[in-house]
Amino acid sequence: MNMDMHDILEHFPSRNEMMRSLQRHIPHQDHSLEMVGVFGAGLVVGAAVALFFAPRTGRELRDDVREQAGRLTDRVRDTVSTTVDAAAAATP
């Protein structure tokens, strides 16, 4: 029984068959909103820790919190927009 590479490969599924099988078995869930939420929460916690451990007066701290909140809002808005655009582009 002398087999060459082509005989062996005939016993394996083709690339298209494997992709169809994977598509049937992998659930199509979009976790992008969860990731954006976790990212946003991490930003908020990190900014809060940094602000509260820095030596500042109350007025300076409030101004810094307001400034950081504005930056965070802009970042989250940009991340959500990018994620929504990418999801829309990936949807057939």
- pLDDT tens, 11-46? 777 777 777 776 666 565 666 777 778 888 888 888
For the full predicted model, state whether its pTM sits above 0.75.
Answer: no
Helix%, strand%, coil% for the chain, nearest 5: 75, 0, 25
Identify the domain containing residue 84 by its residue range: 5-90
* pLDDT tier, 2 (very low <50, low <70, confident <90, very high otherwise): low
Q: CA separation (Å) from 23 to 13, 18, 50?
A: 15, 9, 44
Instruction: Provide CB contacts within 8 A for 36, sequence distance 6+.
Output: 76, 79, 80, 83
Domains: count for the chain: 1
Inter-residue contact 43 to 76 (CB < 8 Å): yes
CB 16 within 8 A of CB 24: no
Contact 32, 81 (CB under 8 A): no
Residue 7 reports pLDDT greater than 70: no
The pair of three-digit structure tokens given for residue 81, joined into one six-digit string: 């927009």
The mean pLDDT of the chain is 76
